[in-house]
């Protein structure tokens, strides 16, 4: 199992859907935060959405 992590194609398969899953979790958290009406929950949910969106940004070296 650990030997697969040295191959770039397997790492790509693991890391590629992170922005999609993060955005889904962040959207769900934002909906829950809007119903709970707490400022801390909204800030946390927005930070989660921002972080997942930033992880989708292409990085060119």
- pLDDT bucket at 61, cuts 50 / 70 / 90: low
Contact in structure between 46 and 32 (CB atoms under 8 Å) = no
- pLDDT bucket at 22, cuts 50 / 70 / 90: very high
Tokens of 41: 């929950």
pLDDT at residue 2, as a whole number: 80
Please state the domain count of the chain: 1
Asked, for residue 51, whether it belongs to a domain, the answer is: yes
Residue 22 has a CB neighbour count (10 Å cut-off) of: 19
Q: Which structural domain range is residue 36 located in?
A: 8-55
Sign (positive/negative) of CA torsion 20, 24, 30, 31? Answer: positive
Asked, for residue 35, whether it belongs to a domain, the answer is: yes
In eight-state DSSP terms, residue 6 is G
Distance separating alpha carbons of residues 37 and 46, to the nearest angstrom: 14
The model's pLDDT over 27-37, given as tens digits with 9 standing for 90+, comes to 999 999 999 99
The model's pLDDT over 37-59, given as tens digits with 9 standing for 90+, comes to 999 999 999 999 999 989 888 77
């Amino acid at each position: 199992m650990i030997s697969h992590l040295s191959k770039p194609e397997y790492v790509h398969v693991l890391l590629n859907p992170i922005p999609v899953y993060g955005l889904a979790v962040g959207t769900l958290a934002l909906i829950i935060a809007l119903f709970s009406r707490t400022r801390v929950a909204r800030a946390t949910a927005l930070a989660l959405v921002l972080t997942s969106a930033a992880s989708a940004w292409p990085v060119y070296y």
